[in-house]
Structure 1
Amino acid sequence: MTVENGSTVQVPAVKFLKQVQAGNINCPTLPTVAAEVAQHYVMLCRELIMEEIRLAEFKGEPPSRQRCLFACETVEEARYWKQLVGPGSTICELTCTGTIHRVDASLLLGDSEPLSVTRERARNYWRGEAGESPQWETLFVGEAKVTAIGL
């Protein structure tokens, strides 16, 4: 949030939205701010649910999304993800020894839906099943050595 003297002050998101709601803050970009806050919380919920299902129903065997390296099997696949990650990312070639788990990221929660649907999609994700339009990602845990940079 920018205050009258032009400086920026970090304010917790929900506190900020409550101040706007109360009329204490005029925020012409409220729709954008609210959408970003909602997306952040959807992603947080998604990751917590994914980890809960992985631990409870898959004995923690697939690599945790919270502690893995996200990898790709091909340079073309890496270029697809680079577009989503952003222009500051770099594609590297790796030699890996460890555990991989190939999953469809299209099964991840991206918007609101019933919890039962989210849990079933998480189960499908951890089983390595594909949705209607798969977006494959590879979760890796182990030792990785960079063999080429900037592909």
Structure 2
Amino acid sequence: MEKVTNKKLYHIHRINKNRPLGINDTLETSSEYNSFFRDYDTKDIPQVFNVNGLLTYYWHFARETAVEEVRVSINNDLPSRKRCLWLTDVRSLDYWIGEVNFNPKEFQLLELEVTGAVFKCDASFIEGNPMKLNDVRERAIRYWSGEILDTKKVEYLFEGTAKVTRVLELSSAN
């Protein structure tokens, strides 16, 4: 984990769940859940889910809960996936744009200056198909150690204050 001041990183912001942001707007993490985890606490399960959608919904919750258990046991001071803002660097941006199926009607691509705690990690350790939770925990140990195997899947877990410095079009991101 690194404490940073005005470090430049990127965020793919869901405008279908949040208000659009502009230059100089700020995002702050807090002791409350981020929008991903807040949905599990506050929203009913969407009725449009088929069986596969329902299984995926609960698999993500089980996986994230196991990963968070490992974080707490290793180093409770690391940014929590339950509260963090997920960020990336310019080298991994193309991967994450593809991963979320970026659509400008649903997302904004933001360049941020961040001040706070940043943890650089490799999402490949915790992505993938459902598996035994013990396997998830073993992979989470590598994730929380900061080991990087796949440089295109680098993510930064951030807790602190982020200021929007640019709202990017896909062609201007790199």
TM-score with structure 1 setting the length: 0.71
Once residues 63 and 44 of structure 1 are traced to their aligned partners in structure 2, the CA distance between those partners, rounded to angstroms, is: 18
* Conservation of the 8 A alpha-carbon contact between 2:122 and 2:150: no
Identity across aligned pairs (percent)? Answer: 33
- Which of 1 and 2 has greater Rg? 1
Residue matched to 1:117 = 135
RMSD: 2.4
- 2:122 counterpart of 1:104: yes
How many pairs does the alignment contain?
123
With a CA cutoff of 8 Å and minimum separation of 6, indicate the structure with the bigger relative contact order: 2
Q: CA deviation at 1:36?
A: 1.2
Once residues 45 and 110 of structure 2 are traced to their aligned partners in structure 1, the CA distance between those partners, rounded to angstroms, is: 36
Once residues 159 and 50 of structure 2 are traced to their aligned partners in structure 1, the CA distance between those partners, rounded to angstroms, is: 35
**Deviations for 1:57-103, whole angstroms, at most 9, x for unmatched residues?**
22x121001111111111x5223212222312111111111110011
* Conservation of the 8 A alpha-carbon contact between 2:71 and 2:78: yes
* Conservation of the 8 A alpha-carbon contact between 2:123 and 2:153: yes
- 2:143 counterpart of 1:128: no
> Which runs of 5 or more residues in structure 2 are unaligned?
1-43, 170-174
| Structure having the larger proportion of residues in helix | 1
Once residues 128 and 113 of structure 2 are traced to their aligned partners in structure 1, the CA distance between those partners, rounded to angstroms, is: 31
Once residues 73 and 87 of structure 2 are traced to their aligned partners in structure 1, the CA distance between those partners, rounded to angstroms, is: 25
Once residues 121 and 108 of structure 1 are traced to their aligned partners in structure 2, the CA distance between those partners, rounded to angstroms, is: 7
- 2:160 counterpart of 1:145: no
> Which runs of 5 or more residues in structure 1 are unaligned?
1-10, 17-31
Residue matched to 2:72 = 55
Match of 2:109 among 91, 110, 121: 91
Residue matched to 1:64 = 80
**Deviations for 1:105-129, whole angstroms, at most 9, x for unmatched residues?**
1111532322321111011111111
Q: CA deviation at 1:143?
A: 1.2
Once residues 144 and 111 of structure 1 are traced to their aligned partners in structure 2, the CA distance between those partners, rounded to angstroms, is: 32
Residue matched to 2:26 = none
* Conservation of the 8 A alpha-carbon contact between 1:103 and 1:125: yes
* Conservation of the 8 A alpha-carbon contact between 1:105 and 1:134: no
**Deviations for 1:23-61, whole angstroms, at most 9, x for unmatched residues?**
xxxxxxxxx822111111110001111111111222x12
Once residues 133 and 145 of structure 1 are traced to their aligned partners in structure 2, the CA distance between those partners, rounded to angstroms, is: 25
Once residues 80 and 94 of structure 1 are traced to their aligned partners in structure 2, the CA distance between those partners, rounded to angstroms, is: 18
